[in-house]
Amino acid sequence: MPPEGIAKRPIFTEPGHEISWSRSFRGLQGRPSLVEANVAGIVLWNLEGAITGANEAFLRMVQYASEDIAAGRVRWTDLTPAEWRASDERALADLKAFGMFQPFEKEYFRKDGSRVPVLLGGTLFERGGNEGVAFVLDLTEQKRTQQAEETRLQAERQYRTVVETATDAVITIDATSKIRLVNPAVTKVFGYEPAELIGKPLTVLMPERLANRHLTGCNSTSRLAIAV
């Protein structure tokens, strides 16, 4: 019997000859916690494209139920979008040559037609065999974080482009009134090279009477912030 937590269906190599589950799962025996923890998706498959077993983590990723596995309705070939099939072909070639393939990123179709990005790695149970196990990590959160970072960097690049090309002087300061960013136009307006101003207090660009007023305002704000 397979470890608890794996949805399964009978496996056949030829009509009337069922392969025992103990044989299919011998590579996972002694590690039921790996299967049941559902930290990663675990999938049993064959080279013809069938998924013959899967744990709850994988089923959640692709939005299928254990009944779908038992009925043979879930095939890894059908879950794979067309643009990722070449990657699958390379993995199959590695399986036939080495008995395993290195982890790579791809996508699967979910049951509702949406896609889930995953990291997939796998191995055959036997070198030259037809059946194996794959480990699947859901990369959705990682991709979301990566996309957010790319969006932030793009916005920063756009901001810098606007600042760098502006004809007016643009100066960015931090909470302590230290200059953190200036554009080339400050040279024409104030006579300083941009590199001379980075890290300097904003008051270096002010007449003394305005500098004192600015410092008084900053100190008052600081005292107010501390009081709050």
Reported as a pLDDT band with limits 50, 70 and 90, residue 222 is very low
What is the reported pLDDT for 183?
87
Q: Do domains 6-138 and 167-227 have the same CATH topology?
A: yes
pLDDT of residue 160: 80
**Residue 215 above 70 pLDDT?**
no
Q: Using an 8 Å Cβ cutoff, are 108 and 115 in contact?
A: yes
Query: pLDDT band for position 217 (50/70/90)?
Result: low
The mean pLDDT value for 58-68 works out to 94
pLDDT surpassing 50 at residue 15:
no
More confident residue, 205 or 51: 51
For residues 206 and 183, give the distance between their C-alpha atoms in angstroms, rounded to a whole number: 17
Look over the chain and give the mean of its residue pLDDT values, rounded to a whole number.
79
CATH number assigned to the domain with residue range 167-227, chosen from the 4 options 2.40.40.20, 3.40.50.300, 3.60.70.12, 3.30.450.20:
3.30.450.20
Task: Please tell me which of 126-140, 154-168, 173-187 the model is most confident about, judged by mean pLDDT.
Answer: 126-140
212: number of Cβ within 10 Å: 12
Write down the domain spans for the chain: 6-138, 167-227
Cα separation, 206 vs 210, whole angstroms: 6
Give domain 6-138's CATH superfamily. PAS domain (3.30.450.20)
Average pLDDT (207-211) is 76
| Mean per-residue pLDDT, 206-215 | 74
C-alpha span between 58 and 62 (Å, rounded)? 7
